[in-house]
A and B are shown apart, each in its own frame.
Chain A
Amino acid sequence: MYRYIPNTREDQEKMLSAIGAGSIDELFSDIPEDIRLDRELELPASMSEPELVSHMRAVASKNINAADHPCFLGAGAYDHLIPSVVGHVISRSEFYTSYTPYQPEISQGMLQAIFEYQTMICRLTGMDVSNASMYDGATALAEAALMAVRTTGRDRVLVSRGVHPQYREVLKTYAANAGIEVAEIGMSGGMTDMDGLRAMLSGQNDMPSGSKADGGAAKGAGTAAVIMQSPNFFGVIEDMEAATALAHEYDVLSVACVDPISLAIIQPPGEYGADIAAGDGQPLGNPLNYGGPHFGFLAAKQKLVRKMPGRIVGQTTDNEGRRGFVLTLQAREQHIRREKAVSNICSNQALNALAATVYLSVMGKQGLKQVAELCLSKSHYAYSKLLETGKFEKVNDAPFFREFAVRAADEPVETINKRLLDRGIIGGLALERYYPEMKNCWLVAVTEKRTRQEIDAFVEAAAGGGKQNG
């Protein structure tokens, strides 16, 4: 008996007799004998629901989790508050058990929600158009780079070393297969090195062979896009306005990788004229989930809309003139254009985008600003308290949001994290693994969820004090 399979033996016999088959095996007789599996799969035996629950609880208990341990780890995934309402809405099974809304007349709920999502993303980023979501921030950024290459017809992108290391890795994987060159822009004082960027754009540096002639400088040395992140991997707010102006000076597209919470108070890509905005939407109402599902967002200027990958929802009317929503501009997509499509993406992260839509509705215009201000102030409080201990040093003087890097003066970051864990606290990220030059540097994130008591206990333990959890 399997509770998800309703056919009884009697049903099966009725069906077989209607078909005119003697047995279920007969229905598989077109599969050549020599490739049929002549044994049962070697898998653990089936479990009842109570057995499964106790097994899964036991597995889950092997993890340390951020619900029971104050979390100061960020680096692309953040322990923000998730209002109860979000989980209740996305648990409506009319939403979560539906497929991509191909039949608009019975999918108006999801379609309208995506339309609201697109609108919210555009208002947050200040861009004109948004798609329905991407897999995550890393793939959204890689697709943004491909968009820029398609738009400009050039095959080089410049990416700041301040962009999340995993995003750069994904970008390089995508680029290598698409024949795109990726060059990295160096850092200076926690921020992208603008002089280095100018040099690369003007073709004085990192010159591709044969492009030294006139067109090279004018076209940014064959560059399609400048890709920067703000706040960058170190939490530092980059001078995106200057970077975008510089890119545009060389007729190169500006791609901004941004954090959606920060956009409530920090200059959005639309205000500084970026051409494409991308990022990871996890902070908007999505749990950490050990890295997924999260979702990526991708927004652009109006003129790039037909180069955008992924689903896009548009408003229209029904036969009686009532407002309704459909998937639109599908001539960009794989199911219509096959190998000529702008991307292969089909399934995206619709339910996670729905969670973000609910989150942004709950937080609203005022709440999101408060979340951002709390992240800003609490992270600065933690930063100054850490420096006050004398056990940590500044790494730079750049302005930051929610997250910052410090250097541990006396002991390895790993030792500090271990001590924090003994006190029931999840510590920060050891940066040296991703930036070998950042010896013993520590990346610490402080969201609105962290209380004064938690931060103080964190600082005390980080500096070597505090007591161990029983």
Chain B
Amino acid sequence: MAKLIFEMSKPGRAAYSLPPCDDAAEVCDGLIPGRFRRKKDAELPEVSETDVIRHFTELSRMNHGVDNGFYPLGSCTMKYNPKINEDIAALDGFKTVHPYQDDETAQGCIQVLYEMDRMLSEITGMDRFSLQPAAGAHGELTGLMIIRAYHANRGDTGRTKIIVPDSAHGTNPASAAMAGFEIVEVKSDERGGVDIEALKTAVGPDTAGLMLTNPNTLGLFDENIKAIADIVHDAGGLLYYDGANANAIIGICRPGDMGFDVVHLNLHKTFSTPHGGGGPGSGPVGVKKELEPFLPVPLAEFDGKQYRLVYDRPLSIGRVRSFCGNFGVILRAYAYIRTMGPDGLRKVAENAVLNANYLMHRLRDHFDLPYDRTCKHEFVLSYGRHKETGVRTLDIAKRLLDFGFHPPTVYFPLIVSEALMIEPTETESLETLNLFADTLIGIAEEAEKDPEKVKTAPHKTYTTRLDEVKAARNPVLVHADMRQSRPTAEQTD
């Protein structure tokens, strides 16, 4: 158990080094009225630089990243994060540019934004991209606002509903609700795709659009995509592409050619930027020509000589974030696309799909495979066959931790019971896939011979299984330091 940084604190210790006081730094008394002054110091830690480094190094060793080992977390595309892209993002010429600098002094940054817009448009078959959204869900929200603005601009105000398949990511319905839509859920058919008949019933004059991930969260390509697009378009709705699974199709096919009107991409998935322990991400939104006027401001433009940010877009939904989005993330993804080139990007999809199908083949006899089809970048297994041992998918996942693997996504999608959603990505070798398959098969066998060992896993990690119920029942969300008199906490509801 690591100490908290607060528990290492000792008055008189310091890790900072500030510029010397010069004449400009005169005494501050009286510069602001006393009543605006803070009454009681913020109890921040007082530690030395060695303390800081040792503490956070210790914490880092209690964390598993892609650099530590295989991370087949389905729908998250945990591919290798190229180091050169980190070096590029750290160049002073990018890292220390102020977002309010005049366009003339930020030509390099705007060039990156402009060229990303062009490149992502080509990759997806769309016409124009906004790079402002800061994450996938933020891109969804932005895309849905654009759909709303499009209908409203046509005077078509009765379109209040967004259709979402039952296999969709939770962010889809949540984003639609946040954009002010009602959600209509449509079920999946026995092949894992959108149920066409159910969709026909669901669409109508109140349909604003359909959100779809293709390949979907089962890792399956919806072969009926053209029919789906026709049904939605014929009803006057628009098609929204959730790009979470774009790693399966880059260079192979494009959402724009499938009939999608709006797409978002996750640069922190498909385009190799690191997830940072939960962000920063970047969720650019691309649209077809008819929807271009509604994109957030500003957009990057180039007149052949100068790059500039353009704000004068009267039909725009407005801003969804300050400045131009997570520029540093966009920059890393730009470097990745320039590294891979068109051929390399296609090889990404080919090898991601090959790896997933190979791993599915290795595991299919040891787990249930609810949808027995060629998969794309990921596949979903179910661990539902050994009910008598009481071992559940969660236990299998926890046991994987003992072998240095991050587990797959579990219990998702919701339409598969005891689901294990496995996405190997193209950056993993055959040897790694085999080792993982052997380990998982070994655990499945162990679950029958020695179920207790699996049910009490993990055994080799920094902590054993953690009590999540206790955490939620009695929330302890900040460290209560005895030296700090805390405000009286009111009861939680």
Asked whether B280 lies within 8 Å of A349 as measured between CB atoms, the reply is yes
Of B31, B108, B148, which contacts A377 at CB under 8 A?
A: B31
Q: Does A212 contact B (CB under 8 A)?
A: no
Asked if A105 meets B466 with Cβ closer than 8 Å, knowing A28-B252, A110-B278, the reply is: yes
With both chains docked as a complex, state the minimum distance between the C-beta of B288 and any C-beta of chain A, in angstroms.
15
Asked if A14 meets B324 with Cβ closer than 8 Å, knowing A92-B57, A98-B65, A319-B464, the reply is: no
Q: Does A213 contact B (CB under 8 A)?
A: no
- The complex places the Cα of A122 from the Cα of B105 at a distance, in Å, of 38
- The complex places the Cα of A109 from the Cα of B9 at a distance, in Å, of 19
Asked if A123 meets B27 with Cβ closer than 8 Å, knowing A47-B338, A316-B470, A352-B279, the reply is: no
Q: Does A343 contact B (CB under 8 A)?
A: yes
CB 8 Å contact bits of B1-37 with A (1 = contact, 0 = none): 1101110010001111111011111111001110111
Of B45, B73, B479, which contacts A361 at CB under 8 A?
A: B45
Residues on A with C-beta less than 8 A from B464 are 105, 318-320, 322
Is the interface on chain A under 10, 10 to 19, 20 to 34, or 35 or more residues? 35 or more
Stretch with Cβ within 8 A of B (4 or more), from A196-204, A248-256, A300-308: A300-308
Asked whether A293 lies within 8 Å of B112 as measured between CB atoms, the reply is no
- The complex places the Cα of A113 from the Cα of B55 at a distance, in Å, of 10
CB 8 Å contact bits of A141-162 with B (1 = contact, 0 = none): 0000010000000000000000
Asked whether A177 lies within 8 Å of B463 as measured between CB atoms, the reply is no
Of A123, A135, A370, which contacts B138 at CB under 8 A?
A: A135
Question: Residue of B at shortest CB range from A307?
Answer: B493
Of A15, A85, A323, which contacts B53 at CB under 8 A?
A: A85
In addition to A43-B119, A81-B19, A85-B49, 13 A-B residue pairs with Cβ atoms within 8 Å of each other are A12-B354, A19-B357, A41-B123, A43-B122, A105-B461, A109-B59, A126-B487, A267-B35, A288-B96, A302-B491, A317-B466, A337-B170, A366-B14
- The complex places the Cα of A344 from the Cα of B79 at a distance, in Å, of 24
Asked whether A7 lies within 8 Å of B339 as measured between CB atoms, the reply is no
Asked whether B27 lies within 8 Å of A377 as measured between CB atoms, the reply is yes
Of A95, A129, A169, which contacts B65 at CB under 8 A?
A: A95
Asked whether B429 lies within 8 Å of A64 as measured between CB atoms, the reply is no
Asked if A99 meets B278 with Cβ closer than 8 Å, knowing A59-B111, A287-B95, the reply is: yes
Stretch with Cβ within 8 A of B (4 or more), from A219-227, A327-335, A387-395: A327-335
Asked whether B61 lies within 8 Å of A173 as measured between CB atoms, the reply is no
Question: Residue of A at shortest CB range from B182?
Answer: A339
Residues on B with C-beta less than 8 A from A15 are 354-355, 357-358, 430
Asked if A361 meets B175 with Cβ closer than 8 Å, knowing A99-B78, A138-B321, A399-B32, the reply is: no
Stretch with Cβ within 8 A of A (4 or more), from B231-239, B268-276, B443-451: B268-276
- The complex places the Cα of A81 from the Cα of B15 at a distance, in Å, of 13
Q: Does B348 contact A (CB under 8 A)?
A: yes
Asked whether B462 lies within 8 Å of A108 as measured between CB atoms, the reply is yes
With both chains docked as a complex, state the minimum distance between the C-beta of A298 and any C-beta of chain B, in angstroms.
13
Residues on A with C-beta less than 8 A from B135 are 135, 345-348
- The complex places the Cα of A170 from the Cα of B486 at a distance, in Å, of 33
Residues on B with C-beta less than 8 A from A352 are 276, 279-280
- The complex places the Cα of A87 from the Cα of B90 at a distance, in Å, of 10
Asked whether B64 lies within 8 Å of A107 as measured between CB atoms, the reply is yes
Of B24, B105, B112, which contacts A381 at CB under 8 A?
A: B24
- The complex places the Cα of A380 from the Cα of B470 at a distance, in Å, of 51
Residues on B with C-beta less than 8 A from A303 are 490-493
